[in-house]
Structure 1
Amino acid sequence: MANAYMIGNQAIVQRCLTAKNEWHAKASMIFGSALKMAIPILVLFPGLMAIVVHPGLLDGDQALPMMIKTILPPGLVGLMFAAFFAGLMSSVDSLLNSTATLFTKDIYEPYIKKNADDKHYLKVGKITTLVLLIIGVITSPISSDFPGIYVAIQTFMSFFQGPLFAILLLGIFWKRTTQWGGLSALIIGIGSAVYLNVFKDIYFTIEDPFLYISWWSFLVGFIVNVTVSFMTKSHTEDQLKGLVFSSKLFAKNKT
């Protein structure tokens, strides 16, 4: 499911769109994916050290702060927390920007108000960002229902990663895919993920089965996408030109 995060996360995609050219965009994705492979190690070691240094620690989310407080000198403690909040702010503003852009360009502009000037759409984007912040503040107490922040994030991501990856995979490699197939896969796939999470005690034997939920929702989304696409009108070759992977396109890019 890591592929779904790297190619389906709009915040990452928008960063790639700022690249100098296509080669730099591809290189940034590969380099970023390679760096992300080290994250499990970075997450694992502080927790293992915390078990030894603070054996009575009950809250896993307190492992890293306690290790920083115990091991690092005062100056580096402040620097570490500053780096932590800088990374958090970077992730939050990227998410807000990408979500506001998606709403403004893909929903508001084509369906609500067409042919407005850039200042108007910029204002709509700012208002959308403010609304998203308010929604985030209101819904933040939901995370307290989970055993930890990590579990909460992974659980919410499992609702979307599977269906989105199925849509992206078929959209890139299968010409017969239609927008109705993708929309149906998204709705039913997310619904199946939520259903599996609600009744996880019945279907799974582990405590936090978010990876299994992602896999099964991916499978559901894939099947629904294929089924609905066969039942709806396909796109013409001209509409799909340059959008769907083919051996001809690969040979053209290689030359």
Structure 2
Amino acid sequence: MAPVQTSVAAAASAAHAAPHALIHLAPIDIAILAVYLVFVIAIGYITGKGHQTSEDFFLSGRSIPAWITGLAFISANLGALEVMGMATSGYQYGMMTANYYWVGAIPAMVFMGVAMMPFFYGSKVRSVPEFLKKRYNEGARFINAITFAVFTPAISGISMYAMAVVLQDFLGWHFWPSVVVSGLVVLVYTFLGGLTASIYNEVLQFFLIVLGVAPLTIIGLIANHAKAVKHAAAGMHESWLMAATAGWGDFKHWLDTHQVSQGKAMLPGNMWLHTWMGTGHAAGNTLQITWPGVVLGLGFVLSFSYWCTNFLVVQRALAAKDMNSAQRTPLLAAFPKMLFPFIVILPGILAIPLLPHLVTGGTVVHGKIVSDTHTVNNVMPLMMGTYYPAGLLGLGLTALMASFMSGMAGNVTAFNTVVTYDLYGSLINPNASDKHYLWFGRFMTVLGVAISVGFAFWVRGANSIMGYTQTIFGVVNAPLIAVFLLGMFWPRTTPWGGFIGLLVGTGTSVTLWILCMKGHPMAHFYKHGTTSAFWNALWSFCAGASSTVLVSLFTRRQPVEQLTGLVYQVTPRGEASATLAWYRKPLVLGILALLATLILNLLFW
């Protein structure tokens, strides 16, 4: 998922520079940030008071209503790499980046809610690796658990690193106190409140992002209108709605009449407002990708592997109070998810005429770019620093900090659950008391935060964080979906088939990544990193699926009675949604989400 990572890929050198504040916060901005920090710790304290069992700590006692778990489901993916990175990708690639939502998220979220959650929630598993144990064997569980446990703190550390760089570059805060203090805040509320604290803070984060980042789109449209009429006070005698509407027309006209720089090439500006234009050949679009790569690599393998098997998001649905709520969790999340390109991508596109020098760098001083200190990687905070007034600036920066910290907390709570249940509880100490597992889970929370902090310092000297994140997503997620789909929908899949398939798929993913890093021509078809990530995911899926099928055909299958509740064909169809109103049924919600996404694709075709 390369564009998501570009917001931090070029920041390593900046992290070593001497702090120099580019944005000076007003007292009200500091007050907003302070209130947020106090509030998140209070949430941890309040939600943790009722935790008596390990299930309370790791799965919120399976008691959270659907609208809460739905917002948490979407917010768990709204970390630093998305909020910052998608604005960067909007500036660099335009609305093609929206494919990460409309192709690379919504269909998979619908499939997750309609087809997969009945197995996850109905089997009463506590984690994704535990489902692999029930369907296959302990070996499959171990492979998934160990890769997840190793790489999840790494993602968390990258999120912390990105946050610290933003705080250093824009507020002048030193790198190490930013990392340590944010880590301590996350540690306190996750240690006290476990998954419940993380979920409710993710809900808070969702509203902060909407309130703190969404105005950037409106203000960017108004600023484009002012630029078009060459009058800084444009819009003062118009309503904000009229000015923003006029700004959209002015912005489209600017793109139609200008070329936009992308590296050494100059491309037609109108390419930045299309999602499928020119995907018949790689050189015809901003992302340098063809439609098969988008549909198969992103829309199927990467998307389904992340949204359907990544325990970070699955855990939120498992915390729901009943089967209906669990199924509706990803479906309710799909509706705000499809609108997020207008919140996090569009501001980056709107910045092209407003901050034109970001291709070579720029620093905001009194609303103008006057030096070459910063690049497109910081387009969102640069836009905030340029156009946000006091108060709104504090809200916007707090929203960015919330995205960083909630992303870290989500990874830590998923990490402590998998390590406690699937490694420690299954392999090392399977007969311990529930209180012991509760204690061990809190200990792993401390360890998870410590590893994340350490990784943030380690990647500080990296040349390309994008390479690390591509490895993590590819190794952990891409091979997994093949084994899951075959296991859930093909009864003939055997335990050995699933184990070997997961092993081969993971090995293929690692091998292809190494070849890509070394520039081997067999590793990918195109030079662009995003394209190779899509295709490598597809090859890993094919390797895992074919290995699973081949081994399953030559090994002993499980008795049918062992597959009930785990495989579609031998599981009775439940009536969980029979009493719901028609508009609340999972299938209806899924169809509506897909239709809405189709309309958005057609509008920006």
Same fold (TM over 0.5): yes
* 83-92 or 237-246, which deviates more: 83-92
1:100-119 equivalence runs, <5 A:
100-119=416-435
Report the Cα distance in structure 1 between the residues aligned to 2:537 and 2:337, rounded to whole angstroms: 19
Q: Note closer, same or farther for the CA distance 1:153–1:39 as it changes in structure 2 (3 Å cut).
A: farther
Match of 1:224 among 506, 526, 547: 547
Report the Cα distance in structure 2 between the residues aligned to 1:94 and 1:179, rounded to whole angstroms: 30
Report the Cα distance in structure 2 between the residues aligned to 1:82 and 1:42, rounded to whole angstroms: 16
Q: Does 1:71 align with 2:387?
A: yes
Match of 1:145 among 442, 463, 474: 463
Match of 2:333 among 6, 12, 32: 32
* 120-129 or 36-45, which deviates more: 36-45
Percent identity between the aligned chains? 32
Q: Note closer, same or farther for the CA distance 1:76–1:154 as it changes in structure 2 (3 Å cut).
A: farther
Q: Note closer, same or farther for the CA distance 1:155–1:110 as it changes in structure 2 (3 Å cut).
A: closer
Matched residue type, 1:117: S
Shift of 1:183: 2.7
TM superposition score normalised by structure 1: 0.87
Task: Report how many residues are paired.
Answer: 253
Shift of 1:95: 1.6
Residue of structure 2 in register with 1:206 after alignment: 527
Contact 2:324 2:576 in 1 (8 A): no
Matched residue type, 2:567: V
Match of 1:249 among 554, 568, 572: 572
Q: Using CA pairs under 8 Å that are at least 6 residues apart, name the structure with larger relative contact order, 1 or 2.
A: 2
Contact 1:155 1:210 in 2 (8 A): no
Q: Does 1:169 align with 2:488?
A: no
Residue of structure 1 in register with 2:443 after alignment: 127
Report the Cα distance in structure 2 between the residues aligned to 1:130 and 1:85, rounded to whole angstroms: 21
Shift of 1:107: 2.1
Shift of 1:159: 2.5
What SS is found at the alignment partner of 2:572? helix
Shift of 1:162: 1.6
Contact 2:501 2:545 in 1 (8 A): yes
Shift of 1:195: 1.7
Q: When you count helix as a share of all residues, which structure comes out higher?
A: 1
Shift of 1:131: 2.6
Shift of 1:67: 0.9
Q: Note closer, same or farther for the CA distance 1:90–1:178 as it changes in structure 2 (3 Å cut).
A: farther
Q: Does 1:188 align with 2:489?
A: no
Contact 2:564 2:570 in 1 (8 A): no
Report the Cα distance in structure 1 between the residues aligned to 2:408 and 2:398, rounded to whole angstroms: 15
Q: Note closer, same or farther for the CA distance 1:99–1:49 as it changes in structure 2 (3 Å cut).
A: same
Shift of 1:182: 2.5
Report the Cα distance in structure 1 between the residues aligned to 2:453 and 2:554, rounded to whole angstroms: 42
Shift of 1:155: 4.7
Matched residue type, 2:463: D
Shift of 1:247: 7.5
Shift of 1:84: 2.1
Q: Note closer, same or farther for the CA distance 1:34–1:3 as it changes in structure 2 (3 Å cut).
A: farther
Contact 1:162 1:221 in 2 (8 A): no
Contact 1:185 1:225 in 2 (8 A): yes
Q: Does 1:12 align with 2:313?
A: yes
Residue of structure 1 in register with 2:378 after alignment: 62
Report the Cα distance in structure 2 between the residues aligned to 1:8 and 1:39, rounded to whole angstroms: 22
Contact 1:162 1:219 in 2 (8 A): no
Shift of 1:2: 1.6
The answer for unaligned runs of 5 or more in structure 1 is none
Report the Cα distance in structure 2 between the residues aligned to 1:56 and 1:189, rounded to whole angstroms: 43
Shift of 1:5: 1.6
Matched residue type, 1:139: F
Report the Cα distance in structure 2 between the residues aligned to 1:247 and 1:177, rounded to whole angstroms: 13
TM superposition score normalised by structure 2: 0.39
Shift of 1:137: 2.8
Shift of 1:40: 4.0
Deviations 1:133-175 (A, max 9, x none): 33323333437332x66x7534521222221111211121011
Report the Cα distance in structure 2 between the residues aligned to 1:247 and 1:253, rounded to whole angstroms: 17
Deviations 1:6-57 (A, max 9, x none): 2112122221122222112111111223433334444431221222222221
Report the Cα distance in structure 1 between the residues aligned to 2:493 and 2:474, rounded to whole angstroms: 23
Report the Cα distance in structure 2 between the residues aligned to 1:110 and 1:175, rounded to whole angstroms: 26
Matched residue type, 1:206: K
Match of 1:51 among 341, 349, 352: 352
The answer for unaligned runs of 5 or more in structure 2 is 1-301, 360-374, 579-605
Q: Note closer, same or farther for the CA distance 1:103–1:229 as it changes in structure 2 (3 Å cut).
A: farther
Shift of 1:232: 3.0
Report the Cα distance in structure 2 between the residues aligned to 1:54 and 1:219, rounded to whole angstroms: 43
* 105-114 or 130-139, which deviates more: 130-139
Deviations 1:215-236 (A, max 9, x none): 1111111112222223333211
RMSD between superposed Cα atoms in Å: 2.5
Matched residue type, 2:459: I
* 181-190 or 136-145, which deviates more: 136-145
Contact 1:162 1:216 in 2 (8 A): no
Shift of 1:103: 1.8
